[in-house]
Amino acid sequence: MSDQPLNFDGPDAPATGALQGLKVIDLTRVLGGPYCTMILGDHGADIIKIEPPQGDETRDWGPPFLKDDPAGSMAAYYMGVNRNKRSLGLDLAKPEGKELLLRLLANADVVIENFKPGQMEKWGLGYEEVLSQRFPRLVHCRVTGYGATGPMGGDPGYDAVVQAVSGMSSINGTPTSGPTRLGTPIVDMGTGLNAAMAIMMALYERNNSGRGQYLDLTLYDCAIALLHPQANNFLMNGAAPKTTGNAHPNIYPYDSFKTADKELFSAVGNDGQFRRMCEVIGQPELAQDPRFATAPQRSVNRDALKPALEGAFATWTCDDLARALLDAGVPAGPVNDVPTAMTSEHTAHRRMHVSDGKGYNALGIQAKLSRTPGNVRRAPPQFGEHGQEILAEFGLSADEIAGLIDNGIVVEQRRR
């Protein structure tokens, strides 16, 4: 890891992104919501992360933790999705906490939360009855597991459980392994991406109508929406999808293959690419074989095609074969591990590793805008780190802030 700042602009750098001036009150915890607001913050939005007295529980989801962290509450998991935010500890269970939140919302464009359905209403902060009436321009985004209604309405949802319930786990793995959770929390992160997109759509529409609206995002809906092509295959032919390991269910050779030293992944998507692959490996006759000449035939006869390809691949090292295929316009690449990918020259070139040189190391900003690029200004905050600063910006006096702290409304130390 670098000991020097890497793609990190620092707290004194101005926001350069397309969302400068956007004010977001972030009441979310764990992953889907925080991932959404980090994306908005990366592109210039002012994100005020309001944490409950116990803090965001992912602060404790380790090891690893930030080296020499005196509070023991800066796990890599938390740090990976909470940069470019300021933290305020607030007890919303107390009437004064709710009143303070309403005071903050008066100047906000967006509020995003992932409480259990009905919790905001229980607190007297429901969108229809309160927020939309007091703040008609406010966009309220709610992220839940399954929504508020329906057979599973109100049930708690976490990524791995929703992967299982939605059928996603059933299409991952091999016939030997059985249903397998995807290693990356794709449902949470996919929901975060969808939430960011929905917020931007609502803000765009507000430019015309002048009105905010309520956004209902669920992990379940987003998981179902990610079941392409398996669910669409089922809806067309009624056949339950089978686990195929690394192989694509519809096209071939779209799979991992053994070479002389390590595995290569090939993603051949059409007949022209397959013919070029066969030419590169010195087996042009494979492309003329009736079993493999067309995409449907290759998919049906994949059990015969794979060993034929691996026989030819065995004379190549993976990196040499990948380079030769890429040069011929055939999508392919080595099956790398995470350390190899994170230390690759291309990862550095694409600015996908961020470090402040003080222990914060994380992934870079994926969306690169030419005129209004995002930037990393703040490392993830300690719990309640910016509480007094934020409240002063919203017009509270020093005495008011001190009183809120003394009465446990504003919280500066996590309650374990």
Which amino acid is present at 331? P
Can you list the positions of beta strands (E) in 238-283?
A: 254-258, 263-267
In-domain check, residue 354:
no
Residues 104 and 209 in one domain: yes
Let me know if residue 353 belongs to a domain: no
Q: What is the pLDDT of residue 3?
A: 54
E strand residue ranges, 106-174: 110-113, 139-144
* Same domain, residue pair 99 and 177: yes
Domain annotation covers residue 385: yes
Which tokens go with 376?
């990393």
Residues 60 and 129 in one domain: yes
pLDDT value for 70 = 64
Interaxial angle between packed helices 32-42 and 186-209, expressed in degrees from 0 to 180 and rounded to the nearest 10: 50
- Where among 334, 349, 382 does a domain terminate? 334
Residue 10 phi, psi dihedral angles, 5° rounding: 95, 160
pLDDT tens digit string along 83-116? 999 999 999 999 999 999 999 999 999 999 999 9
383-411 pLDDT tens trace: 999 999 999 999 999 999 999 999 999 99
- Rounded to an integer, what distance in angstroms lies between the CA atom of residue 414 and that of residue 82? 17
Residues 6+ apart with CB under 8 A from 355: 1, 2, 4, 5, 6, 7, 8, 361, 362
CATH of the domain at 386: 3.40.50.10540
Q: Which of 37, 54, 48 is nearest to 91 (CA)?
A: 54
Successive 10-residue mean pLDDT values, the chain, 416 residues: 74 90 98 98 97 96 86 90 98 96 97 96 94 98 97 95 96 92 96 98 98 98 97 95 91 97 97 98 97 97 97 97 98 97 96 93 96 95 96 96 97 91
- Residues 271 and 132 occupy one common structural domain: no
pTM score of the predicted model:
0.94
Q: Tell me: do 370 and 324 sit in the same domain.
A: no
* 1 belongs to a structural domain: no
Are residues 280 and 198 located together in one domain of the fold? Answer: no
Same domain assignment for residues 127 and 183? yes
Cα 54 from Cα 51, distance rounded (Å): 8
Find the helix or strand (DSSP H, E) in which 311 lies.
helix 302-313
Residue 188 annotated in active site? yes
Backbone CA torsion sign across 236, 242, 245, 247: negative
168 domain-assigned: yes
Please give the residue range of the domain that contains residue 283: 263-334
Tens of pLDDT, residues 107-130: 999 999 999 999 999 999 999 999
Chosen domain end from 334, 356, 386? 334
Output the pLDDT for position 49: 98
Same domain, 308 and 406: no
Q: The domain that contains 298 carries what CATH number?
A: 3.30.1540.10
153 and 90 both lie in a single domain: yes
In a domain, 104, yes or no: yes
How many separate domains does the chain show? 2
Same domain, 322 and 394: no
Pairing of strands 214-218, 139-144: parallel
Answer whether residue 339 is part of any domain: no
Single residue among 310, 334, 358 that ends a domain in this structure: 334
Q: Let me know whether 151 and 273 are in one domain.
A: no
Choice among 109, 188, 255, 356 that is catalytic: 188
- Asked if the structure places residue 17 within a domain, the reply is no
319 and 219: one domain? no
